[in-house]
Chain A
Amino acid sequence: MESILEIEKMSLQFGGVKALDDVSFHIVKGEIFSLIGPNGAGKTSMLNCISGLYQPTTGSIRYKGKEIVNMKPYNRTKLGIARAFQNIALFAHMSVLDNLKLGRHTLMRSGPLSGGLYVGKASKEEIKHRKKVEEVIEFLELQDIRHTPVGTLPYGLQKRVEVGRALALGPELILLDEPMAGMNNSEKDLMARFILDMHEVMDTTVVLIEHDLGIVMNLSDHIAVLDFGKCIGFGTPDDIQKNPDVIKAYIGEETVI
């Protein structure tokens, strides 16, 4: 099995706090991979390192065999890594369509002049990108709210648009930071279906941070468990459920009364 992303001996330190401590795991191409762990375990920090918002103190991140640890975030995007944020990072006054188109901004080539005048290659490019965005709209069933400003949408839908913005990039690796947080059960089911389809239909590798362990166990091919910055478990859902360290981290240690 070919790894798409390899994290090796990575540490991230903020002053005296070790947010990530010597973490190593790898993600196989085309799988759904989940990062779990209690609050403050370093899950989001890990995603920040992968997407390039944080620079790890030591260690390496290899994407398709290539070292990317010193690469700027926008260059990582061009390689095919996209991310949806836990706190919705959309432009509230812009329509769903515009927000999604913005997701493809780094891929646009035409300059402000030709783009502004909508001549020559710019119009062709616009059509091409619009088509990609429309595919995402179709995929996530956002047709009826295409022209609605994002700020007026209910939370669950905004989350979906947030995922859509990342997906619009047509990424090979998508990082989803708690895409189901704050959703009710039926919204969660729908999102889980979208995640499965991303992986099956679009062949995207998905990295998921999620607190709902039922969903994580059902969806994931592999799971890494973080606790106080350390990777305390890595394996298939079955392995993780049997791992004593994980059980300890989640349920606490057996105490003798």
Chain B
Amino acid sequence: MGSEKTLPNLLAERAAKVGHEVALRQKYLGIWNEITWDDYFSKVEQLSIYLSENLEFLPDEKLAIIGENRPQWLYAQMAAQSLGGVSVGIYQESLPEQIVYYLNDCKARIVVVEDQEQVDKLLEIEKQIPLVEYIIFYNKQGMRHYNHPKLLEFDEVLATGASLLKDRSGFLLYNTKHLFGDDHAVIAYSAATTGNPKGVVLTHSNLIEAAKNLLQVDKMEEKDDYFSFLPLSWVHEQVVSIVIPLTTGIVINFPEKPHTVIGDLREIGPQTLLAPPRVYQTLMSNFTIRMEGASWFKKRVFQTFKKYGEKVARAKLDKQQISSWDKFMYQIGDIFVFSAIRDHFGFSRTKRAYVAGAALQSEAFYFFHSIGVNLKQTYGGTELSGIAFVQSDEEIKVNSSGVPLPNTEVRIGENGAVYVKNKAIFAQYLNEKDQKLMDDGWITLGDCGRIGEDGHLYILDRLEDIITNRNDKHIYPRIVENKLKASPYIQEAVCFGKDKAYVTAILNIDLNSVGRWADKQRIVYTEYSDLARNPQVIKFIEQQVTGLMNQVPPYARVKKFSILHKQFTADDGELTRTLKVRRKFIEDKYQMLINGMYSDTEEVTIAGLEIESVEGVSLQVIHLKTEQEVA
């Protein structure tokens, strides 16, 4: 075995070496409760023996987990893996029919869930998931009157496990000896911007390799803090929350509740942070809004130092020269303003904040670097065991997705697709029919990009999304959309224009910032749909779009757009669970609206979408006037 490292092996090693040190923290009843490596190990052992003895869990069997980020999530995964099993994380917001798909696809017999909400969901679809025999829940609240035969309570399971262990000491250690690095460890479902999610099978070696590669670029110290708040079913989060602690000893902190994340983040002040662009955008836009409402003095002080912050950010990101005076003023600003802002966000100790899942727009990049947060763009995916490209601390470029991690090769295919090769690449898809992307160890995630002379990867867009307009010009919708999203008032934008004469867009406004603007203009509104259809708001957004489109080459400019009456949501299928836009779905769903934007009409009535719109919702099509000269 020797080099055969597996996650349970690493856990056993760590527990033996530094058993009394803190491994995890969970805030409960207002207090950060610490869990040592010994506790972690023994909980896993208790659960593991129970699964094996009482539930007859077999090697290579799948254990599904649905819940928020909690220590129990980790125990469950590790227990399954220690028996040679595979854990399958399922997004906790998944709708019942999505859960039916996941559970039947991975054929899980045992499901570990958070609470009453998830139990209710599973019992509701009980008939459709005949393979599920046991449901283990770990939050007892509201569960007193449930006595369904499939239900088991986590703490009771652990207690039974503990008594089973009395005559079977060394159970876990014995089992881990029979594990191999090539054993399947995790099934992660890829976000699937098109079609059904695909189960991606990752081995222990894959995950450990991904962690190792990342750690070669960014060193993480023992007892560094990490704040785990993104779904653990997302492989990026898995690698940092589960694998990296095993190899480095960083401490993972779990928030009290999803709605306390902001406050808890500040209390922890983690050294490392990982989040998708939307989190950073929200933080930035909240800050902008708070600043607008601040006192005259505070505003004045911030404005004074902001320009030095921007200069320093540009110096860092664009390699511009900077005078010593500016540097000096930045130092002063750092003491009085920037350190306070960082502290407010919970970034005061942050060595690096990774942007994962998609590209962050450049304004946010400059903003965070101006206040001294080391924001780094990454590129990766489920099939690559998370992060495969990252910007190094010395070379952060706004539009790049970073350089390949050590031991990672990259090439650009003939069609412009980015191909990656390393040892962290997944073993296989769960279903045979999905095996198509692999090519001699190289894999593409379907993104199109280029490699700059600086060795950085620049992602242009998804291959399938590139728009070829009537004049055979290539338009990368993501770039146009990111331009639109640079406005704090536009939350989401989806562009269209395949084989057409011009580009159109469907927009979601940002309820917070537009709402605030509307308050100031004394516009009365009730909810999103009302605000989004207000004539003054439409006029205001039109000005925003017009201004932004001047920065885009004429052929790619949005000529007509429409503000949707509702926000895109994952529940309605318009976004993936990681909040990425599902373009094809949106295109089909709002076909009428898109057609309207390619006709002369100024108002489109779309019907039959939701209950709300029994009689149809009429949406205005806005034709940008400045465009006429160009087009």
Q: Please provide the chain A residues from 129 to 178 with a CB less than 8 Å away from any CB of chain B in the complex.
A: 130-131, 134-135, 137-138, 141, 143-144, 146-147
- Give the interface of A toward B (CB within 8 A): 130-131, 134-135, 137-138, 141, 143-144, 146-147, 197, 200-201
| Residue B149 CB within 8 A of the other chain | no
Q: Provide the B138-158 mask, 1 if CB < 8 A to any CB of A, else 0.
A: 000110110000000000000
List, sorted by A's number, 16 A–B pairs whose CB atoms are closer than 8 Å.
A131-B29, A134-B29, A134-B30, A135-B29, A137-B30, A141-B257, A143-B256, A143-B259, A143-B260, A144-B257, A144-B259, A144-B260, A144-B263, A197-B141, A200-B144, A201-B141
Interchain CA distance A135-B31 in the complex, whole Å: 11
Q: Provide the B91-124 mask, 1 if CB < 8 A to any CB of A, else 0.
A: 0000000000000000000000000000000000
Interface of chain A, main secondary structure: helix
CB-CB nearest in chain B for A196: B142
Interchain CA distance A134-B260 in the complex, whole Å: 14
B-chain residues with CB within 8 Å of residue A147 when the two chains form the complex: 263
Chain A: minimal CB distance from B355 (Å): 25
* Pairs of residues from A and B, 5 with the lowest C-beta to C-beta distance, nearest first: A134-B29, A144-B260, A134-B30, A144-B259, A143-B260
Interchain CA distance A164-B29 in the complex, whole Å: 15
A-chain residues with CB within 8 Å of residue B142 when the two chains form the complex: 197, 201
CB-CB nearest in chain A for B255: A143
Chain B: minimal CB distance from A45 (Å): 35
Chain B: minimal CB distance from A160 (Å): 14
Considering only CB atoms and an 8 Å cut-off, how many residues of chain B contact the other chain?
Answer: 14
Chain A: minimal CB distance from B626 (Å): 42
Chain A: minimal CB distance from B259 (Å): 5
Per a CB cutoff under 8 Å, which of A131, A143, A201 touches B257?
A143
A-chain residues with CB within 8 Å of residue B31 when the two chains form the complex: 134
A-chain residues with CB within 8 Å of residue B263 when the two chains form the complex: 144, 147
B-chain residues with CB within 8 Å of residue A141 when the two chains form the complex: 257
Contact flag A201-B259 (CB < 8 Å), given A131-B29, A135-B29, A138-B29: no
Q: Please provide the chain B residues from 3 to 41 with a CB less than 8 Å away from any CB of chain A in the complex.
A: 28-31
Interchain CA distance A137-B263 in the complex, whole Å: 15
Chain B: minimal CB distance from A154 (Å): 14
Interchain CA distance A130-B30 in the complex, whole Å: 9
CB-CB nearest in chain B for A193: B142
B-chain residues with CB within 8 Å of residue A146 when the two chains form the complex: 30
Q: Provide the B247-275 mask, 1 if CB < 8 A to any CB of A, else 0.
A: 00000000011011011000000000000
- Given pairs A131-B29, A144-B257, A144-B262, 20 additional interface contacts (CB within 8 A): A130-B30, A134-B29, A134-B30, A134-B31, A135-B29, A137-B29, A137-B30, A138-B28, A138-B29, A141-B257, A143-B30, A143-B259, A143-B260, A144-B259, A144-B260, A144-B263, A147-B263, A197-B142, A200-B144, A200-B145
A-chain residues with CB within 8 Å of residue B260 when the two chains form the complex: 143-144
Q: Provide the B406-424 mask, 1 if CB < 8 A to any CB of A, else 0.
A: 0000000000000000000
Chain A: minimal CB distance from B542 (Å): 33
CB-CB nearest in chain A for B27: A143
Per a CB cutoff under 8 Å, which of A134, A135, A137, A201 touches B144?
A201
A-chain residues with CB within 8 Å of residue B141 when the two chains form the complex: 197, 201
Chain A: minimal CB distance from B442 (Å): 46
Q: Please provide the chain B residues from 25 to 62 with a CB less than 8 Å away from any CB of chain A in the complex.
A: 28-31
Interchain CA distance A141-B260 in the complex, whole Å: 10
Interchain CA distance A135-B30 in the complex, whole Å: 9
